[in-house]
């Protein structure tokens, strides 16, 4: 490459120029000083010699002036011919009259003329100009301490100048030779210095051009350049290490990006694409949708999954989700997209289905597959599914509306009793909107004082007296009016609002227990507990704190649990129930007889009371099967030292039959419907009035 030697030449020229310039300047000043010294020395010596000669001639000519002997004076002056530098000499009287003279001929044909000489200087003086071809010296001639005349000498300086010029030439030539020799030696020495630097330059270009960090500089010198080479090698080594680290970091970052992208777009449990992937995929398909391509969406919600997850734990719930995802993937075409939207909700995007009937047939096929048993470790589940179907462009024109329409159809399937398929209709979206209104309203219901706890009396059948109440939640929506608990409780469960609402109900019930105990004596209040609330960490601590804050006796607060919540018989369930019982709270098993497990858990769990489900009471005493079941439950409870509450009693015949079975408590419209707290207090006061009078308890209204 042409740039490589140019770098060296440029640097070498610069260094040569600087060094030669410095050396030349030093030599110039040295030569100038030497020439000046030689010039001054030669001129001074010539003047000194001339003055000596002039003094000798002046002394020798003094007698001639005294005796006016012109011939003798002429002989004395002619002695100047011995000095080749003297061109002429004159002896003059004090009045400047010429006494004797000598003139050296320049050539045989042309003698030197006095008139050619410069003007004479005063007596006893020498011309002081730095440079002049001629030198004029005036010397007084003294006799008997009187000046009798003057000697004027004209001296030629040419020979002196020639001698000085010769010396200067020799000095200049010697200086030039020294400069040339110094330049040669300097070039050789500079190359010794520049070659390692050039090696570093070439090595740096090699490294930067090819990214080859394995190169190393080999500079064996122990001076600063050697140190520079070592530093360069250390720098390259550090760059190589950092480059390797950066390369490794880039690989890890790329791997992390891929992993993060997978986490962002795929479900961590089932491995299926998630909602984000679904949204990205539908954006990619929008151009096809605009060109009248057909799509179908199956919105699938696993029935009873919440029960499995809350009862058997999240690990078993995850295994069930994995099994569901596996069945869905094995059933569908390769161009159909299976997505887990979240929780127990899945979606199947059908790419270009032939018709709506084909989509419905596929939905029915999936429903049949999901209705079959799932084996998760040692547990076998029959869950089923609710499936909503929507089509594009038959029903909607955008993927966003397609998803919401299929979602609305799925909720319609749940409303029809679950485990069925529903095709979207416009009215379904209206109901979905109402469901959204309910959920958003629930979030503000407590704050806006829209919730209220009603109480339904529980009677002691043997005495027909009030023994306690069941707390039942009621909600009056500002625009929808009274909303049925069967409608808003499931929504509260799904949105996890049930935890906050459940704590609020416990606060209300405990405060009411305290007031009624002061007014009527001990009356228990049963409060329903949801599975999600029951599984909350520190549930027992929370219940005890709420009871303590409201001065509620623990034995008067009864916590009602559903049979399905206890079916797992897990150690966690047993721990929570034992903890609650040890703190003095009573535990009641609601809807007894409707579950699918054996009765073995009754021995394990500290249950104090069983509630016979209304489905076994409604046909009493005529239905023999219901009568046998009721009798068995009461007998079992009595043998296990438990109390029994029969729900849904509406006739005297039902009450008499259950009383005859030795059933402890009864609850139903025969006695009273659920009442607000003030009306319930009036009912209790009327029911217990004779007893209150005998006990002397005041009957003030709450």
Average pLDDT on 119-138 reads 54
Q: Are residues 594 and 539 both part of a single domain?
A: yes
Give 107's pLDDT tier (boundaries 50, 70, 90): low
Percent of the chain's residues with pLDDT above 70: 85
Asked if the structure places residue 430 within a domain, the reply is no
Query: Tell me, what's the pLDDT at 209?
Result: 65
Q: Are residues 62 and 135 both part of a single domain?
A: yes
pLDDT of 278 above 50 = yes
Average pLDDT on 7-22 reads 68
Question: In which domain, by residue range, is 673 found?
Answer: 443-695
10 Å Cβ neighbour count for 459? Answer: 24
Q: Are residues 305 and 411 both part of a single domain?
A: yes
Q: Are residues 512 and 448 both part of a single domain?
A: yes
Q: Are residues 679 and 536 both part of a single domain?
A: yes
Q: How far apart are CA 167 and CA 91, in angstroms?
A: 36
Q: How far apart are CA 613 and CA 473, in angstroms?
A: 19
How far from 128 is each of 43, 120, 125, 135, 588, CA to CA, in Å? 10, 12, 9, 9, 141
Q: Which two tokens stand for residue 273?
A: 């694409």
Give 456's pLDDT tier (boundaries 50, 70, 90): very high
φ, ψ of residue 568 to 5 degrees: the values are -70, -25
Percent of the chain's residues with pLDDT above 90: 15
Q: How far apart are CA 371 and CA 363, in angstroms?
A: 12
Asked if the structure places residue 313 within a domain, the reply is yes
pLDDT of 403 above 80 = yes
Give 602's pLDDT tier (boundaries 50, 70, 90): confident
Which helix H or strand E contains 87, and what residues bound it? Answer: strand 86-92
10 Å Cβ neighbour count for 615? Answer: 14
Q: How far apart are CA 244 and CA 437, in angstroms?
A: 58
Coil, helix or strand at residue 211: coil
Q: How far apart are CA 336 and CA 338, in angstroms?
A: 7
Q: How far apart are CA 469 and CA 684, in angstroms?
A: 10
pLDDT in tens, 19-62: 777 777 887 888 888 878 877 887 788 778 888 888 888 888 88
Is 221 or 315 the better-scoring residue by pLDDT? 315
State which of 424, 454, 484 marks the end of a domain.
424
φ, ψ of residue 338 to 5 degrees: the values are -105, 130
Q: In 3D, which of 157, 154, 49 has the Cα closest to residue 112?
A: 154
Asked if the structure places residue 613 within a domain, the reply is yes
Q: Which residue has tokens 């909503």?
A: 388
Average pLDDT on 310-337 reads 86
Q: Among 173-187, 197-211, 446-460, 572-586, which stretch is predicted with the lowest mean pLDDT?
A: 197-211
CATH number at residue 394: 3.30.70.270
Query: Tell me, what's the pLDDT at 567?
Result: 63
Quote the Cα angle for 140-141-146, to 5°. Answer: 95
Q: Are residues 288 and 252 both part of a single domain?
A: no
Q: Are residues 222 and 318 both part of a single domain?
A: no
Query: Tell me, what's the pLDDT at 1?
Result: 43
Asked if the structure places residue 80 within a domain, the reply is yes
Q: Are residues 221 and 90 both part of a single domain?
A: no
How many domains, in total, are found in the chain?
4
Q: Which two tokens stand for residue 446?
A: 């407590």
Query: Tell me, what's the pLDDT at 541?
Result: 92
Q: Are residues 257 and 287 both part of a single domain?
A: no
Average pLDDT on 443-447 reads 78
Q: How far apart are CA 358 and CA 367, in angstroms?
A: 14
Q: How far apart are CA 183 and CA 20, in angstroms?
A: 7
How far from 579 is each of 114, 503, 547, 606, 702, CA to CA, in Å? 148, 18, 15, 10, 33
149 forms beta bridges with 141
Q: Are residues 679 and 607 both part of a single domain?
A: yes
pLDDT in tens, 221-266: 666 666 776 777 777 777 777 877 787 878 888 887 777 777 778 8
Query: Tell me, what's the pLDDT at 593?
Result: 65
Q: Are residues 364 and 463 both part of a single domain?
A: no
Judge whether 384 and 370 are in contact, CB under 8 Å: yes
pLDDT in tens, 49-61: 888 888 888 888 8
pLDDT of 118 above 50 = no
């Amino acid at each position: 490459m042409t740039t490589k030697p140019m770098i060296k030449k440029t640097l070498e020229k610069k260094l040569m120029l600087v060094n030669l310039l410095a050396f030349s300047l030093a030599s110039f000043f040295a030569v100038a000083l030497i020439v000046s010294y030689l010039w001054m020395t030669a001129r001074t010596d010539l003047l000194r010699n001339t003055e000596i000669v002039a003094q000798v001639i002046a002394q020798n000519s003094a007698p001639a002036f005294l005796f006016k002997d012109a011939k003798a004076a002429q002989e004395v002056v002619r002695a100047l011919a011995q000095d080749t530098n003297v061109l002429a000499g004159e002896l003059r009287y004090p009045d400047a009259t010429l006494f004797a003279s000598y003139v050296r001929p320049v050539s045989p044909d042309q003698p030197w003329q006095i008139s050619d000489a410069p003007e004479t200087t005063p007596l006893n003086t020498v011309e002081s100009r730095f440079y002049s071809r001629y030198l004029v010296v005036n010397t007084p001639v003294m006799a008997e301490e009187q000046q009798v005349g003057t000697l004027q000498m004209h001296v030629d300086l040419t020979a002196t100048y020639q001698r000085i010029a010769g010396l200067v030439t020799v000095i200049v030539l010697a200086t030039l030779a020294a400069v040339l020799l110094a330049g040669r030696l300097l070039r050789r020495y500079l190359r010794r210095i520049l070659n390692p630097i050039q090696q570093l330059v070439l090595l740096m270009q090699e490294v930067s051009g090819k990214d080859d960090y394995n190169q190393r500089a080999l500079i064996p010198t122990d001076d600063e350049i050697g140190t520079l080479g070592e530093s360069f090698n250390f720098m390259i080594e550090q760059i190589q290490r950092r480059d390797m680290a950066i390369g490794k970091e880039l690989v890890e970052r790329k791997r992390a990006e891929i992993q993060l992208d997978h986490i962002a777009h795929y479900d961590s449990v089932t491995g299926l694409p998630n909602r984000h992937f679904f949204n990205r995929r539908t954006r990619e398909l929008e151009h096809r949708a605009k060109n009248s391509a057909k799509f179908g969406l199956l919105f699938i919600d696993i029935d009873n999954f919440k029960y499995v997850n809350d009862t058997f734990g999240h690990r078993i719930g995850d295994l069930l989700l994995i099994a569901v995802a596996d069945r869905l993937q094995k059933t569908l075409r390769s161009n159909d997209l299976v997505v887990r939207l979240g929780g127990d909700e899945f979606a199947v995007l059908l790419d270009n289905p032939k018709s709506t009937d084909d989509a419905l047939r596929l939905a029915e096929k999936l429903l049949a597959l999901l209705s079959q048993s799932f084996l998760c470790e040692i547990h076998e589940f029959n869950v089923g599914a609710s499936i909503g179907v929507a089509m594009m462009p038959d029903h909607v024109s955008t993927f966003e509306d397609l998803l919401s329409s299929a979602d609305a159809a799925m909720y319609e399937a749940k409303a029809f009793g679950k485990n069925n398929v529903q095709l979207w209709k416009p009215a379904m979206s209206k109901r979905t909107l109402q469901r959204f209104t309910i959920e958003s309203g629930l979030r503000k219901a407590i704050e806006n004082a829209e919730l209220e706890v009603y109480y339904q009396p529980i009677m002691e059948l043997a005495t027909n007296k009030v023994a306690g109440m069941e707390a039942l939640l009621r909600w009056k929506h500002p625009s929808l009016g009274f909303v049925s608990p069967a409608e808003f409780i499931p929504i509260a469960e799904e949105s996890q609002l049930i935890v906050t609402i459940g704590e609020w109900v416990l606060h209300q019930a405990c405060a009411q227990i305290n007031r009624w105990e002061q007014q009527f004596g001990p009356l228990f209040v049963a409060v329903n507990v949801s599975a999600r609330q029951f599984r909350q960490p520190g549930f027992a601590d929370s219940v005890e704190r709420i009871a303590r804050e409201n001065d509620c006796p623990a034995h008067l607060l009864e916590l009602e649990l559903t049979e399905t919540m206890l079916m797992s018989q897990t150690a966690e369930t047993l721990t929570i129930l034992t903890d609650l019982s040890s703190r003095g709270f009573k535990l009641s098993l609601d809807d007894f007889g409707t579950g699918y497990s054996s009765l073995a858990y009754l021995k394990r769990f500290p249950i104090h009371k069983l509630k016979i489900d209304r489905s076994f009471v409604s046909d009493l005493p005529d239905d023999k099967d219901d009568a046998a079941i009721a009798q068995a439950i009461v007998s079992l409870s009595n043998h296990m030292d438990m109390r029994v509450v029969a729900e849904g009693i509406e006739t005297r015949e039902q009450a008499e039959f259950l009383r005859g079975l030795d059933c402890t408590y009864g609850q139903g419209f025969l006695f009273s419907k659920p009442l607000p707290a003030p009306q319930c207090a009036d009912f209790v006061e009327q029911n217990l009035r004779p007893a209150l009078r005998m006990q002397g308890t005041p009957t003030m209204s709450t």
